[in-house]
Amino acid sequence: MAELTTRTYFDHAATTPVHPAVLEAVTDVLKNSYGNPSSFYREGQTASHLLAEARATIARLIGASDASEIIFTASGSEADNHAIKGVCEAYAGKGRHLITSTVEHHAVLHTMQHMEKQGFEVTYLDVDRTGQVDPDAVRQAIRPDTILVSIMTANNEIGTINPIREIGAVCREKGVLFHTDAVQALGAIPFDASDLQVDLASFSAHKLYAPKGIGALYVRRGIRLGRLIDGGAQERNRRAGTENVAFAVGFAKALGLAVDHMEENRVRLTAMRDRLIEGLRSIPHTKLNGHPTKRLPNNVNVSFEFIEGESILLLLDAKGYMCSSGSACTSGSLDPSHVLLAIGMPHEVAHGSLRVTLGHGNTPADIERFLADVPAIIKRLRDISPLYADYAKGNIRNLISEASNDDTLLETSYAI
Amino acid sequence: MQYSEKVMDHFMNPRNVGEIDDASASGTVGNPRCGDIMKVDLKIVDNIIVDAKFKTFGCGSAIATSSMATEMIKGKHIDEALRLTNQAVASALDGLPPIKLHCSLLAEQAVKKALLEYYREHDLLTDENRPLFKVVDDDAHDHGEETID
């Protein structure tokens, strides 16, 4: 197919392109420092030193008190798995109750389900209509046998930011360990593990312009943790396997850049985000999903009534836009996104969701071009939708208000 | 999701979109909760389908299979249209990803549901053709509401 359209990447929550400076740092290590950090001779020690530096940088930038609190992993998912399974293994003697929320990433939810099969009990806290967890609900759910609370810092689909500091305070007061999946938050909003009173936190480098294949788990000093991978004594005996020095260096470099430019990026992205939200909400029967203000600077998630998400993605793709959706067809199951359902969206509306996540390469001109293209795509799909035809004929009532900038859910299903 | 060029063609340029005001028969299947609904209108003259139109709420393959299914039955005798299968629709589109096969089933169901209405009204149901309508009953989504009586 002839590629004449400009390609615009609007899916930065899925992954990000590698920053040129990060690529250079990674390539430099791969070219010049191939040694195994565990080796005795000089080349090994050079690698070991680079790894230690990267670890210290990341520790400092996430508010750890010591570099030893950082365990490098292969992904954010591994960090989530390690945090939950590792705590369960080490603290099962104290209790077998875990607390999490219904909107967590599958790396947390499926790990929780795994622990249930191992005889642990899990409380899944509901979230409010914006996707936030109530710290009081955490307090009420904590029991004498609770060993871990795991609540994400910011949601990957709807961008909602949780009151992590308040939840951290509750957990600290109650003497329960607190883990947060900070994969989407790191580099986008300030994250300080000590300040937030977080005991464990998961990170992934490829969400902040570093390569895929490396993540990290912060584990506050003094916390015991079972191992996921047995073998050598790497990572202070907590994760076996020869360290990915080059990517660790790239991760540190990327995090440094993200933190250095956080404020300017936040201002730039928030302006584009809010312009995008405003423009999309002017389309009739469109609703913003998530929190209006306590959301990641780069996240837009809306539902268009009467149409289905994958169709929207295909038409956007044909116009050169790379976005994502929480529809069943894009999740590979029959149910739409568990996050959208958890914030009270009817299935009918969750199927028509669109997520746009902005990043470094996007400009205000991209946003205006997108806003100029989207209404025709929505109209085109509504014109072939029998639901829209039924609505137009007055056979069914709409679920989302027709008015611009009105997120009211009028009904929860199409009454016959 | 990898779609064939034919699927993309029928998705980007769907044939027979619309409604027929004086339709001889119509069939609607699917469920908004599941994310797909297909409505097929047929204009039948002397037992020949002279026109077929559809409206579909759904993903790319749902729209493409609606387009292809209506193309395949237009101009056909109703007895011939009744032999339409979802496999035939899928292969006419050069195949569908396995997870999308249920979309083609919805297309077959919508066509047959419309035909069922016509066969009933014109007293054409026989012991021979009755089994061919059974698919209208099958539930692609475990949200069954339609029954043949």
- Spell out the per-residue pLDDT of chain A, length 416, in tens: 455 679 999 999 999 999 999 999 999 999 999 999 999 999 999 999 999 999 999 999 999 999 999 999 999 999 999 999 999 999 999 999 999 999 999 999 999 999 999 999 999 999 999 999 999 999 999 999 999 999 999 999 999 999 999 999 999 999 999 999 999 999 999 999 999 999 999 999 999 999 999 999 999 999 999 999 999 999 999 999 999 999 999 999 999 999 999 999 999 999 999 999 999 999 999 999 999 999 999 999 999 999 999 999 999 999 999 999 988 776 666 688 999 999 999 988 899 999 999 999 999 999 999 999 999 999 999 999 999 999 999 998 899 988 888 888 887 787 65
Structural domain includes residue B145 = no
pLDDT value, residue B99: 84
User: What spatial distance separates the first Cα and last Cα of chain A, rounded to whole Å?
Assistant: 44
For strands A97-101 and A146-150, give the pairing. parallel
B34 and A385 in contact by Cβ < 8 A? no
In the annotation, is B34 catalytic?
yes
When scoring A303, A307, A308, A313 by the number of chain B Cβ atoms within 10 A, the one with the most, hence best to mutate, is A308
Q: What is the pLDDT of residue B145?
A: 37
CB distance from A414 to chain B under 8 Å?
A: yes
B129-138 pLDDT, tens digit each? 999 998 887 7
Residue B1 has pLDDT above 70, yes or no: no
3-class DSSP state of B112: helix
Contact state of A413 with B37 under an 8 Å Cβ cutoff: no
Looking at residue B146, what is its pLDDT?
Answer: 35
| Whether A311 and B37 lie within 8 Å, measured CB to CB | no
Is the dihedral angle over the CA atoms A51, A54, A59, A60 positive or is it negative? Answer: positive
Contacts for A172 with CB less than 8 Å, ≥ 6 apart = A178, A197
Taking the CA of residue A411 and the nearest CA in chain B, the distance in Å comes to 13
Domain with CATH 3.90.1150.10 in chain A: 262-392
Residues of chain A with C-beta less than 8 angstroms from the C-beta of B39: 386, 389
- The catalytic residue among A88, A171, A323, A329 is A329
Q: Tell whether B47 is covered by a domain.
A: yes
Question: Are A385 and B56 a contacting pair at CB < 8 A?
Answer: yes
What integer pLDDT is reported at residue B143 of this predicted model? Answer: 40
How many domains does chain B divide into? 1
Q: Does residue B144 fall inside a structural domain?
A: no
CATH homologous superfamily of A262-392: Aspartate Aminotransferase, domain 1 (3.90.1150.10)
Contact B27/A at CB under 8 A: no
ipTM of the complex, rounded to two decimals: 0.91
**Cβ pair A102, A132 in contact under 8 A:** no
Name the token pair of A354. Answer: 């669109």
Q: Does A348 touch chain B (CB under 8 A)?
A: yes
Beta carbons within 10 angstroms of residue A137's beta carbon:
17
B59 is catalytic: no
Does residue B115 surpass a pLDDT of 60? yes
**What CATH number corresponds to the domain at position B31?**
3.90.1010.10
Q: d(Cα A186, Cα A224) in Å, to the nearest integer?
A: 24
Chain A and chain B share a number of CB contacts under 8 A equal to: 75
By the CB < 8 Å criterion, does A222 face chain B?
Answer: no
Domain enclosing residue B19, as ranges: 5-135
Chain A contact for B51, CB < 8 A? Answer: no
Is residue A82 within 8 Å of A72, Cβ to Cβ?
no
A18 DSSP 8-state letter: P
Q: Domain A20-260 carries which CATH code?
A: 3.40.640.10
B66: CB partners within 8 A, 6+ apart: B14, B38, B40, B54, B56, B107, B110
Catalytic-role residue among B17, B20, B31, B34: B34
| CB-CB under 8 Å, B35 with A329 | yes
Considering only CB atoms, which chain B residues are within 8 Å of A389? 19, 39, 55
The partner residues of A301 in beta bridges, in order of sequence, read: A355
Domain with CATH 3.40.640.10 in chain A: 20-260
In a domain, B149, yes or no: no
Q: Is A127 exposed, middle or buried (0-12, 13-18, 19+ CB in 10 A)?
A: buried
Between CA B55 and CA B63, with CA B58 as vertex, the angle to 5 degrees is 55
Tokens of B71: 């193309």
pLDDT tens-digit readout, B21-41: 999 999 999 988 888 999 999
Query: CB-based contact (8 Å) between A328 and chain B?
Result: yes
Touching B: A residues 88-117, CB under 8 Å: none
Q: pLDDT at residue B95 above 50? A: yes
